[in-house]
């Protein structure tokens, strides 16, 4: 029987997973370290780990057009956890996985979620993974998230990672490691907003090990006020492959941003490209919107929303 969630908890689910109620199909909701509900299907099983906190998500070969929701919500000040989730995706699958974490901290102590997600994606399978992070609460305690994602792509497998930090997270350290076999493809879309004195670090290590493997990384971020961001994506080509890294940041106020894309070719037929750009909002964009009746603040918000869309 699913736990009855409060209005505040339901708002967190809406922010991070687009849920207005307990979902149907395969899902697992974690609420302050405890299960708030779980559902499985004939093709997707979710099993609680016995050796450490977390779950195993097992998707049968040939599963198509199914989804899994695995959101985490925290509403206790002073609560901290480390969770391990492992995904075993069979061959010839096509599935959507929606994760994310929302923290509501109304106290003076730290509330923190660290998660390690490991994906084993079978031959010719396709996975879309959507992850959102969000923080709120009137307390002075920090809201901290440190996600680590490890992906093993078998031959012909593909994964699209769409990760977003909406706002309200005081500190985050994101680590992403990918190994791609022949014909495999990884696409990472990273969107991030920091404000106040928040700090965000993102490290990626993508190993293109098989022939005709591909990687595309697109990072878009906005750094406001006195916040700090550091991006360090690295793509290594160990065979005939293609990789493209693109990092674009809008910087505002007294923010600080470092973008350090790196590419390494260990094979003569590795084609690797990196691009990085940091800059402020163009004045002509603001003026154009302000001539349509928007205030400067409204114009900035409209531009930033479009940039991070």
Task: Give the tens place of pLDDT for each residue, 196-219.
Answer: 999 999 999 999 999 999 999 999
* pLDDT mean by block of 10 residues, the chain; 309 residues: 75 82 84 91 97 97 96 94 97 96 94 97 98 92 96 98 92 97 97 94 97 96 95 97 95 94 96 93 79 82 82
C-beta contacts of 264-270 below 8 A and 24+ residues apart: 264/234, 264/235, 264/236, 264/237, 265/236, 265/237, 266/236, 266/237, 266/238, 267/237, 267/238, 267/239, 267/240, 267/241, 269/239, 269/240, 269/241, 270/208, 270/237, 270/238, 270/239, 270/240, 270/241, 270/243
Q: Which residues does 289 contact at the CB level (< 8 Å), separation at least 6? A: 298, 299, 302, 303
pLDDT at 116: 97
Per-residue confidence (pLDDT) for residue 55, from 0 to 100:
97
How far the first Cα of the chain sits from its last, in Å, is 36
> What is the longest distance spanned by two Cα atoms in the chain?
61
CA distance 112 to 67: 27
What pTM was estimated for this model as a whole?
0.93
User: CA angle, corner 90, sides to 85 and 96, nearest 5?
Assistant: 60
d(CA 253, CA 223): 8
């Amino acid at each position: 029987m699913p736990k009855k969630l409060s209005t505040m908890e339901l708002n967190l689910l809406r922010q991070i997973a687009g849920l207005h109620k307990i979902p149907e199909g395969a899902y697992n909701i974690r609420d302050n370290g405890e299960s708030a509900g779980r559902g499985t299907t004939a093709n997707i099983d979710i099993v609680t780990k016995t050796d450490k906190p977390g779950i195993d998500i097992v998707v049968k070969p040939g599963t198509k057009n199914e989804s899994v929701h695995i959101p985490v919500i925290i509403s206790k000040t002073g609560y901290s956890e480390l969770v391990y989730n492992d995904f075993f995706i069979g061959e010839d699958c096509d599935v959507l996985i929606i994760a994310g974490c929302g923290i509501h901290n109304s106290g003076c102590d730290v509330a923190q979620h660290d998660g390690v997600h490991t994906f084993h994606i079978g031959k010719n399978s396709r996975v879309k993974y959507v992850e959102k992070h969000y923080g709120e609460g009137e307390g002075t305690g920090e809201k901290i998230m440190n996600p680590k994602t490890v992906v093993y792509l078998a031959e012909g497998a593909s994964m699209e990672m769409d990760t977003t930090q909406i706002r309200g997270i005081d500190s985050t350290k994101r680590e992403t490691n990918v190994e791609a076999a022949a014909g495999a493809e990884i696409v990472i879309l990273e969107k991030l907003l920091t404000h106040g004195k928040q700090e965000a670090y993102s490290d990626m290590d993508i190993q293109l090990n098989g022939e005709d493997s591909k990687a595309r990384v697109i990072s878009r971020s906005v750094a406001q006020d006195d916040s700090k961001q550091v991006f360090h994506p690295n793509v290594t080509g160990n065979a005939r492959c293609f990789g493209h890294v693109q990092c674009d940041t809008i910087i505002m106020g007294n923010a600080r941003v470092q973008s350090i894309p790196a590419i390494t070719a260990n094979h003569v037929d590795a084609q690797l490209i990196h691009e990085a750009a940091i800059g402020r909002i163009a004045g002509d964009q603001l003026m154009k919107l302000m001539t349509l009746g928007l205030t400067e603040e409204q114009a900035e918000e409209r531009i930033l929303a479009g940039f991070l869309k």
